[in-house]
Amino acid sequence: MANNKITSRDVDFAKWYTDVVRAASLADYSSVKGCIVIEPNGYAIWEKMQSILDKEFKKLGHVNVQMPLLIPESMLNKEKELVNGFAPEVAWVTIGGQKELDDKLCIRPTSETLFCDYYKDHVSSYKDLPKLYNQWCNVLRWEKETRPFLRSREFLWQEGHTIHSSKEEAMNETNQMMEVYYKFFHDYLAIPSIKGKKTEKEKFSGAEYTLTNEALMYNGVALQAATSHYFGQKFAEAYDVKFTNKNNELEYVYQTSWGCTTRMIGGLIMVHSDDYGLVLPPKIAPKQVVIVPIGDSEEVKTLSNSFKEQLLEKDIITYIDDSDKSPGFKFAEAEVNGIPVRIEIGERDLAKGTITIARRDTREKIEVSKDVDIVTYVSELLDTIQKDMYERAEKRRDELTFEAHTLDDMKKILETQPGFIHAMWCGDKECEEKIKEIKGCKSRCILEGAKSIDDKCVCCGKEAKYHVIWGIQY
Amino acid sequence: MANNKITSRDVDFAKWYTDVVRAASLADYSSVKGCIVIEPNGYAIWEKMQSILDKEFKKLGHVNVQMPLLIPESMLNKEKELVNGFAPEVAWVTIGGQKELDDKLCIRPTSETLFCDYYKDHVSSYKDLPKLYNQWCNVLRWEKETRPFLRSREFLWQEGHTIHSSKEEAMNETNQMMEVYYKFFHDYLAIPSIKGKKTEKEKFSGAEYTLTNEALMYNGVALQAATSHYFGQKFAEAYDVKFTNKNNELEYVYQTSWGCTTRMIGGLIMVHSDDYGLVLPPKIAPKQVVIVPIGDSEEVKTLSNSFKEQLLEKDIITYIDDSDKSPGFKFAEAEVNGIPVRIEIGERDLAKGTITIARRDTREKIEVSKDVDIVTYVSELLDTIQKDMYERAEKRRDELTFEAHTLDDMKKILETQPGFIHAMWCGDKECEEKIKEIKGCKSRCILEGAKSIDDKCVCCGKEAKYHVIWGIQY
């Protein structure tokens, strides 16, 4: 029987999702409307994501900084597209130190303006470039409907903001960071993502273009997993960020930004978890192995401790649950919390010379000799779980990937089972908007260089220019 | 000749301080009034501080969480002392999503209220206790006069908030965390601090008592380095955080909080740095060794690379400065940035069979055989520098530590050379306020259990109750 605190995934996916968030103590609603409390289990996943990505960023020469939380209205107003994009969803500080402010301050929804304002005074020559800065911080967007991790007014993220002396270098950076995210999702989160370019309608306000990683959730709904923007010289012109190039001419810098957020904790849940609670890929799991001793004989204790020490020695994060709860309760708790591997060491099993090892992903129980080389066994099992989880997610994604040649095809698919829909597009916004009328289906990304699957636009029948993936989004 | 961008420390300490902050690219002013940009060199120090403290906190069973940035006015108002303490210095969000808010939201100046609001729904039995939560985040206080790191409207910190089932356990936690900070300052920042208790006047709004670590800067001004508060059941009563104890009775929880901020980057500068720029204790330096190759012969390159690899192998963070600047420029740059050890590898020296190693703290240059066991040599040198820096700071602190038996003593000391002043106190607020009239001198802390140095209060002459350290503060 599945966890009785969790609605079945197939009965009500939305309810199932929030049930898992609560049952695994990842986050809770707060008394602050639209904002969540990230609880220890959820924050530990974020810490792990941070440490992996931060290392990757640094390997590529990026350094961390911290810009202010607040942006004066006058500074924000310098770049019109960004203002128009974010104005409806910012929070304004109008009173500070008991006084009404002359220039009100918005809480950063993103920090392009602040980075530009800093860069303009810190770059003069091509020798000062590139600047490869990143920051880990909180941002705020006044969302109307919120869901834990997926959409909340405040969220945590990293935002990279780089400036370069040439268009080519900045475009390479934009591409490189999309690849970093892709690899992170693939290798650590066990989430297959699709790389592509956003349409003009869906790109980031102010960007020349936006590259994206799009992932598909278990229920066939799409999640924008991380984006990387190329700004060209747009912001540089608005904020006057100039440098002297090698030919001794003044030129505006070329700029990028890229970000990944706590939303991916939601993505992890919606790709991998089940009716028993959280399922985590071993490489992102803050705790990888739980040992449950059953009974309190010396042999049980000694073996539990020995296994724990051996595993910790090899950096496999292991703990013993020796609380006074029943074994059944401990098993269910380890399951709901998504501990990838559970080792049950019981007196009766030991008498037969065995222990039991349970996989969280498949819930399979395996009887193993108590003399097993535990480090090798568990290492291999963790690798297998990681690999299997990726393959299962990929299989599910592929099963929910369709092809449409007419609007009717699209309607039928979206009414039966949403997923990723491949279809050709002429490039007109009107067609994009018409398609959106079908259950809010949006272009997820343009697959650049992908083979054509039709000559005609799926919507208007005119000449097709782009191979696009469409879907319903979170 | 000292760095020409830096005012002499003895001429104008305040100007020297901001010159060092700028020359070492630690932080810059931003266009957001009262807020700074923490630049890569400054943020790297903070990252190092975070990683050390975070490991210590976790060793003691603490876990990280993330509470919302915003506090509704109605929630804040529940605990009067806290409100009164912080009301004058908060920033209020009054508009969100283009609408006036009914319940305005303040940006957290500290998060006691948010933790209590969370705890009240997540604790019911003594079995749920203790909760040992911490968060790394930004907070905002609407300061009028600001200085980089020392006092700015927004700053970064960690705030631990724990709740316990007994008074004794909570008081032990308060004490334990003060000790953690003390050891961190001592072992890593090479800053001797004095542990004590704040007077009623100086304690944290709403706390039953506040423990503090007080450090003395090079110019004799005191810095409150980190505090740890015991709240008793005050907040628990205001926010209704109750649990069923072992006797099956409802009881309010016992609470603590403790914090350390980016201000300590300022402390590091003011204790150790000099007219040549930043001086960093090796254990907190993000980069510990710079190798400067002089000339570009193969031998110079090979030895530079070999040293770098050997040192990195032993986790001594080393880089080669092979930019096209002159050696003199590179030396000055390494000095201003506070790299603890510089290795100069030049063709001429190599012909004599030597290399030169320079200590940043003493600026001493040492000629060493090129066949030196570089790992052993540098490891020992880094240890020596760390130890010497602590001893130098302690010596300076002791030289600037005085004893006063009358108000006249105090005046004379404060007019000549401020420092830590030991003096007895009767415990009356009036005397504290009278002493404050002398150049704003405040009680830093009560030395509990310290020997008496007089029977009478330094101010009123009545019976002395406390041995107090006084000083002018940042």
Q: Which of B84, B108, B113, B74 is nearest to B205 (CA)?
A: B84
Are B330 and B301 in contact, with CB atoms under 8 Å apart? no
**Tokens 């090798």 appear where?**
A376
Please indicate whether, in this complex, the C-beta atoms of A92 and B94 are within 8 angstroms of each other: yes
Confidence of residue B365 (pLDDT cuts 50, 70, 90): very high
* Residue range B284-333, pLDDT digits in tens: 999 999 999 999 899 999 999 999 999 999 999 999 999 999 999 999 99
Helix or strand or coil: residue A419?
coil
- What angle do helix axes B167-187 and B40-59 make, rounded to 10 degrees? 140
- The superfamily in CATH containing domain A289-382 is Anticodon-binding domain (3.40.50.800)
Residues of A in contact with B75 (CB under 8 A): 31-32
What pLDDT score was predicted for residue B1?
Answer: 56
- Helix (H) / strand (E) element for A411: namely helix A407-416
What is the Cα–Cα distance from A70 to B31, expressed in whole angstroms?
Answer: 10
Interface membership of A118 toward B (CB under 8 Å): yes
Interface touch A93/B91, C-beta < 8 Å: yes
Please say whether the beta carbons of B162 and B118 come within 8 A: no
Q: What are residue B344's DSSP bridge partners?
A: B292, B356
How many angstroms separate the CA of residue A361 from the nearest CA in chain B? 26
Q: How far is B158 from chain A (nearest CA, A)?
A: 14
H helices of A60-166, in order, are: 73-76, 80-86, 112-119
Other beta carbons within 10 Å of B452: 10
**Measured between CA atoms, how close is B118 to chain A, in angstroms?**
7
The rounded distance, in Å, linking the Cα atoms of A142 and A90 is 6
B167-197 pLDDT, tens digit each: 999 999 999 999 999 999 999 999 999 999 9
DSSP A380: H
A28 near B CB under 8 A: yes
From the number of C-beta atoms within 10 Å of its C-beta (0-12, 13-18, 19+), residue A186 rates as middle
B354-359 β-sheet, strand order: B318-320, B289-294, B341-346, B354-359, B365-369
Cα gap A77→A87, rounded to integer Å: 10
Q: Which CATH number fits the domain B401-471, given the four candidates 3.30.110.30, 3.30.450.20, 2.40.220.10, 3.40.50.300?
A: 3.30.110.30
Q: Where are the alpha helices (DSSP H) in B136-283?
A: 167-187, 234-239, 263-272
Q: A420-425 and A401-403: which strand pairing?
A: parallel
- Beta strand spans in B142-253 (E): 154-164, 193-197, 209-216, 222-232, 242-244, 250-252
Q: With CB atoms and an 8 Å threshold, state whether A37 touches B93.
A: no
Chain A (404-463) residues lying within 8 Å, Cβ to Cβ, of chain B: none
CA distance B233 to chain A (A): 21
pLDDT at A85 over 90: no
Whether residue B37 lies within 8 A of chain A, CB to CB, comes out as yes
Residue A187 to chain B, least CA–CA distance (Å): 25
Cβ of residue A65 closer than 8 Å to a chain B Cβ? yes
> Under DSSP, is residue B447 helix (H, G, I), strand (E, B) or coil?
coil
Cβ contact A37–B68 (<8 Å) = yes
Surface of A (277-296) touching B: CB under 8 A: none
What is the third-level CATH fold of B41-271? Answer: BirA Bifunctional Protein; domain 2 (3.30.930)
User: What residues in B contact A72, CB-CB < 8 Å?
Assistant: 31-32
Asked if A51 is an interface residue toward chain B (Cβ–Cβ < 8 A), one would say: no
Q: Chain A: nearest CA to B273, how far in angstroms?
A: 22
Quick one: what percent of chain A has pLDDT higher than 70?
100
| C-alpha–C-alpha distance, residues B254 and A131, integer Å | 48
A69 touches chain B (CB under 8 A): yes
For residue A1, is pLDDT > 80?
no
Q: Predicted confidence band at B3 (pLDDT cuts at 50, 70, 90)? A: confident
Contact, B193 vs B240, CB < 8 A?
no
The mean pLDDT of A36-52, rounded to a whole number, is 98
Tell me, what's the pLDDT at A93? Answer: 97
Gap from A414 CA to chain B (nearest CA, Å): 32
- Residue B86's pLDDT is what? 84
Chain A residues inside the 8 Å CB shell of B68:
30, 32, 35-37, 154
pLDDT-derived band at A296, boundaries 50, 70, 90 = confident
Nearest CB neighbour to A43, from listed B64, B71, B105: B64
Instruction: Please indicate whether, in this complex, the C-beta atoms of A44 and B64 are within 8 angstroms of each other.
Output: yes
Chain B partners of A31 at a C-beta cutoff of 8 Å?
72, 75, 117
Tokens 């860069």 belong to which residue? A119
Which residues share a beta bridge with B294?
A: B346
- Residue A211, classified by CB atoms within 10 Å of its CB into exposed (0-12), middle (13-18) or buried (19+), is buried
CB count within 10 Å of CB A305 equals 14
Of A43, A95, A140, the CB nearest to B92: A95
| pLDDT above 70 for A233 | yes
The helix or strand, by DSSP H or E, that contains position A260, with its residue range, turns out to be: strand A254-261
Asked if B32 reaches chain A (Cβ–Cβ under 8 Å), the answer is yes
Taking the C-alpha atoms of residue A387 and residue A58, their distance in angstroms, rounded to an integer, is 27
Domain with CATH 3.30.110.30 in chain A: 401-471
What CATH number does domain A13-272 carry, 3.30.9.10, 3.30.930.10, 2.40.10.10, 1.10.760.10? 3.30.930.10
B38 and chain A: CB distance < 8 Å anywhere?
A: yes
Residue of chain B with shortest Cα separation from A152: B68
Q: Which residue of B has its CA nearest to A143?
A: B97
Which residues from A are below 8 Å from B106, CB to CB? none
Q: State whether residue A96 sits within 8 Å of chain B by CB.
A: yes
Question: What amino acid occupies position A301?
Answer: K
Does B156 contact chain A (CB < 8 Å)?
yes
| Residue B296, Cβ density class (10 Å: 0-12 exposed, 13-18 middle, ≥19 buried) | exposed
Whether the Cβ atoms of residue A114 and residue A67 lie closer than 8 Å to each other: yes
Q: How many CB atoms lie within 10 A of CB A416?
A: 10
Spell out which residues of chain B touch residue A93, defining contact as CB-CB under 8 Å. Answer: 91-94, 107
Do residues B152 and A66 touch, judged by C-beta distance below 8 A? no
Residues of B in contact with A89 (CB under 8 A): 97
Q: Is residue A94 less than 8 Å (CB to CB) from chain B? A: yes
Confidence of residue B4 (pLDDT cuts 50, 70, 90): confident
Burial of A87 (0-12, 13-18, 19+ CB in 10 A): middle
Distance from CA of A62 to the nearest CA of B (A): 10
**% of residues, chain A, pLDDT over 90:** 95
According to DSSP, the residues that pair with B457 across neighbouring strands are none
H helix runs in B314-373, sequence order? 327-336, 347-351
Instruction: With a cut of 80, say whether residue B440 has pLDDT above it.
Output: yes
B138 touches chain A (CB under 8 A): yes
Q: What CATH number does the domain located at B289-381 have? A: 3.40.50.800
Q: How far apart are CA A112 and CA B78, in angstroms?
A: 38
**CB B436 within 8 Å of CB B409:** no
Model-wide pTM > 0.80 = yes
In the predicted model, what is the mean pLDDT of residues A141-159? 95
Report how far residue B293's alpha carbon sits from residue B299's, in angstroms, rounded to the nearest whole number.
Answer: 10
Residue B49 pLDDT = 98
Strands (E), A326-465: 341-346, 354-359, 365-369, 401-403, 420-425, 442-446
Of A67, A71, A94, the CB nearest to B92: A94
- Given a cut of 60, whether residue B439 has pLDDT beyond it is yes
Task: Provide the mean pLDDT of chain B.
Answer: 96
Going by pLDDT thresholds of 50, 70 and 90, the confidence category of residue A297 is very high
Q: How many Cβ pairs closer than 8 A exist between chain A and B? A: 156
3-state secondary structure of B347: helix
pLDDT at A54 over 70: yes
pLDDT at A88: 86
| B36–A65 C-beta distance less than 8 A | no
Cβ distance of B63 and A40 shorter than 8 Å? yes
* Terminal-to-terminal C-alpha distance of chain B: 30
Tell me if A87 and B98 make a contact (CB, 8 A cut-off). Answer: yes
The candidate with the shortest Cα–Cα distance to B116, out of A25, A155, A31, A27, is: A31
Query: Which residues on adjacent β-strands are paired with residue B136?
Result: B158
A68/B contact by beta carbon, under 8 A: yes
Q: What single-letter DSSP state applies at residue B145?
A: S
Residue B468 to residue B198: CA distance in whole angstroms:
9
Mean of the per-residue pLDDT values for chain A? 96
Contact criterion met (CB < 8 Å) for A72 and B32 = yes
Euclidean distance between CA atoms A51 and A44, whole angstroms: 11
Q: What is the rounded CA–CA span in Å between residue A55 and residue A57?
A: 5
Note which residues in 391-410 of chain B have CB less than 8 A from chain A. none
C-alpha to C-alpha distance for A118 and A255, rounded to whole angstroms: 13
Q: Is residue B329 within 8 angstroms of chain A, CB to CB?
A: no
B72-116 tens-digit pLDDT: 999 988 878 777 888 889 999 999 999 999 999 999 999 999 999
- CATH 3.30.930.10-classified regions of chain B: 41-271
Rounded to a whole number of angstroms, the distance from the CA of B328 to the nearest CA of chain A is 19
Helix runs in B358-418, H state only: 374-399, 407-416
Given CB atoms, is A371 within the 8 Å cutoff of chain B?
Answer: no
CA distance A77 to A39: 36
Domain with CATH 3.40.50.800 in chain A: 289-382
Cα A51–chain centre separation:
14
Which residue of chain A has the CA closest to B93?
Answer: A93
- Give the gap in angstroms from C-alpha A140 to the nearest C-alpha of chain B: 9
> How far apart (Å, rounded) are the C-alpha atoms in residues A373 and A380?
11
Q: Mutation target for A interface from B29, B49, B71, B92: give the one with most A CBs within 10 A.
A: B92
Element at A182 (helix H, strand E): helix A167-184
Is A89 in Cβ contact with B91 (below 8 Å)? no
Walk across the sheet containing B99-107 and list its strands: A70-72, A99-107, A91-96, B91-96, B99-107, B70-72
Contact A31 B75 (CB under 8 A): yes
Euclidean distance between the first and final Cα of chain A, in Å? 30
CA-to-CA distance for A321 and A312, rounded, in angstroms?
A: 15
Q: pLDDT digit string (tens) for B248-279?
A: 999 999 999 999 999 999 999 999 999 999 99
Q: Which residues pair with A470 in a beta bridge?
A: A421, A443
Calculate mean pLDDT across residues A319-331.
95
